[in-house]
Structure 1
Amino acid sequence: MNKEIKIALVEDDENLRFLVAERLESEGYKVLEASNGDDAENIILSQQPDIVLLDWMLPGKQGSEVCTNVRAKGFDKLIIMTTAKQQDIDKIDAYGFGVSDYITKPFNMDVLVALIDNKIKFQLNSEKSETYSFANMEHHPNTHLLIKDGRKIELTILENRILLYFLKNKNKVINREELMMEVWGYNADVNTRTLDMHIVRLRKKIETNPDYPQYLQTVRGIGYKFAYVA
């Protein structure tokens, strides 16, 4: 990697923090550690790390509160929430805490490193954050924003992942299983109805008439296709 990447690791479980820090340092990252919300906020705001790995359950302040506070003070780098419970993922997705992404515990270290490497590559390769344009819209995946006719529309983390995958695979028929794997990951316990529900919500945000979608089209019996010709 061509510059020293700083990662703030906020985790109150000492053993897990030690293991994750050791692995990240062996991958060449500089790791700043915190075990509670107050220390985390101080480190994030004073050191401005490139990525924050933030535990949802912390003594004192919750991870969501830390996230909200540092975002309010202008911290705009990546925040990846680590969480042990499915309910927390739903909360992360439902409220705009400003989380960039999340990973569920217990996580596989290789999966965590791959997620971070991937995010860093995006950041280093794009001087400005990557954006995707189609029709009268612009998608900013790093900030979960969709700008439609100049108006900002917030996307949830899952909607963001779904739209990004479609935009990278325009005009290609994608089956539901492939999409679910991409969005929820290998250990996900989701059914196709959950996916379809997210698609319906996403259509409301991008389509002029969600009942007759122009972009996010259903391919009967298979899945979906993002139809767009520039």
Structure 2
Amino acid sequence: MDKDITVAVIEDDENLRFLISHRLQTERYKVVQAGNGDEAEELILSVQPDIVLLDWMLPGKEGIDVCRSVRNKGFEHIIIMMTAKSQDVDKIDAYSHGITDYITKPFNMDVLVAMIDNKVRFFVPKNANKDVYVFGSTEHHPQIHSLIRDGKKIELTILENRILLHFLQNMGKEITREELMEVVWGYSSNVNTRTLDMHVVRLRKKIESNPDKPTYLQTVRGLGYKFVNEE
């Protein structure tokens, strides 16, 4: 049975665009394509795909500019940035609040499909409640990686957003550092646990009233973490 989900594949490398599109079609997704930034913007705004796979480096407009532009024009669906340079990830975190998530090239097609399936499962159903998680007096809006507390918006980086979302989807469950690293960085990650812990520390500063004595994001000694929401 066809999934009623449209994915826009925006990639200037024709071979890669074909491979991604073909694989998504075999997974029963509907696919539309573009090979440069200007075409991409037009396509996204006219078709309104559920998910956009957007290459960082494009002829014409760069991917990040396409993203910013369609967001400014009211496009609210998922945008996954494909980037070949891992250092660009920091720029994405710092400068773009329009990207939902990213995947670093070269990527395994199974990982890409798993990521898209996950987004479809949690975000695409047109049900506003699915898009907002609440703990204490804080709302988490994962698609715009932001928190809303007391009417104020607090931006999250893409990695903080991934970490928090995984906890909120697994409320009360003890999560190992290894599981969390796989969720955040992917299967081939060689990131060390101290880097993960650093991101958790930063996230706590945004979600806890006292980050040194966390109410929500608690450490499980010798294992990892768990997220507790007890009012």
Distance in 2 (CA, whole Å) between partners of 1:14 and 1:160 is 32
Percent identity between the aligned chains? 67
Aligned to 1:98: 98
Cα deviation code 1:163-201 (max 9, x no counterpart): 111122233332222211121111112111211111111
- Match of 2:147, SS? strand
Conservation of the 8 A alpha-carbon contact between 1:67 and 1:97: no
Distance in 2 (CA, whole Å) between partners of 1:190 and 1:99 is 22
* Cα offset, 1:96, TM superposition: 2.5
- Match of 1:224, SS? strand
Distance in 2 (CA, whole Å) between partners of 1:49 and 1:228 is 34
Aligned to 2:164: 163
Shift in alpha-carbon separation, 1:52–1:155, aligned structure 2, 3 A: same
Aligned to 2:223: 222
Conservation of the 8 A alpha-carbon contact between 1:24 and 1:113: yes
- Match of 2:168, SS? helix
Distance in 2 (CA, whole Å) between partners of 1:36 and 1:2 is 28
* Cα offset, 1:124, TM superposition: 4.5
Q: Structure 1 stretches of 5 or more lacking a match?
A: none
Amino acid of the residue matched to residue 193 of structure 2?
A: T
Distance in 2 (CA, whole Å) between partners of 1:35 and 1:144 is 27
Conservation of the 8 A alpha-carbon contact between 1:138 and 1:148: yes
Conservation of the 8 A alpha-carbon contact between 1:4 and 1:29: yes
Conservation of the 8 A alpha-carbon contact between 1:9 and 1:17: yes
Distance in 2 (CA, whole Å) between partners of 1:16 and 1:54 is 12
The within-5 A match list for 1:201-212 is 201-212=202-213
The within-5 A match list for 1:46-125 is 46-125=46-125
- TM-score norm. by structure 1 comes to 0.92
Aligned to 1:148: 149
Conservation of the 8 A alpha-carbon contact between 2:97 and 2:145: no
Conservation of the 8 A alpha-carbon contact between 2:133 and 2:140: yes
Distance in 2 (CA, whole Å) between partners of 1:25 and 1:225 is 37
Distance in 2 (CA, whole Å) between partners of 1:195 and 1:189 is 11
Q: Structure 2 stretches of 5 or more lacking a match?
A: none
Aligned to 2:136: 135
- TM-score norm. by structure 2 comes to 0.92
Amino acid of the residue matched to residue 24 of structure 1?
A: L
Cα deviation code 1:74-106 (max 9, x no counterpart): 100100111112101222122234101111211
Shift in alpha-carbon separation, 1:4–1:225, aligned structure 2, 3 A: closer
Distance in 2 (CA, whole Å) between partners of 1:218 and 1:123 is 28
Amino acid of the residue matched to residue 213 of structure 1?
A: P
Aligned to 1:12: 12
- Match of 2:131, SS? coil
Aligned to 1:33: 33
Cα deviation code 1:123-171 (max 9, x no counterpart): 3545114321111111122221211122211111111111111122233
Shift in alpha-carbon separation, 1:34–1:174, aligned structure 2, 3 A: same
- Match of 1:69, SS? helix
Shift in alpha-carbon separation, 1:75–1:179, aligned structure 2, 3 A: same
Conservation of the 8 A alpha-carbon contact between 1:174 and 1:224: yes
Conservation of the 8 A alpha-carbon contact between 2:2 and 2:29: no
**How many correspondences in the alignment?**
230
